Amino acid sequence: MSTQLSPITPASPPRLEPYVDSKQAAAFLAFDWKQVQKLSREGKIPAHPVLSGPQNRRRTWRYKLSELDEWARSQRNSAATGSATSSKEK
């Protein structure tokens, strides 16, 4: 009885997701791009700071759409499962 070995296929390299700028992130989230930048500075959305400008003193932001999608879904789910009363009423 002969056993046939299946050919070894090389694993495909992981697909690298490109970063997008705040205007593309805003379009994806249906937000104003200035709001996206504000949320980035406040650490409220997943963002990656990139230093630019003279002497790297200016911070710009880059985003991965998969991270923004996950964040948006978690926000929607937390709002749906949240309390019916606001914290001000307690």
- Average pLDDT per 10 consecutive residues for the chain, totaling 90 residues: 64 83 96 95 94 79 96 85 49
Q: Give 50's strand partners.
A: 60
User: What pLDDT is stored for residue 5 in this prediction?
Assistant: 64
Phi-psi region of 56 (alpha: psi -120 to 50; beta: other; left: phi over 0): left
pTM for the model stands at 0.67
> Long-range contact list for 4-12, CB < 8 A, 24+ apart?
none
User: What pLDDT is stored for residue 3 in this prediction?
Assistant: 63
User: What pLDDT is stored for residue 6 in this prediction?
Assistant: 63
User: What pLDDT is stored for residue 89 in this prediction?
Assistant: 44
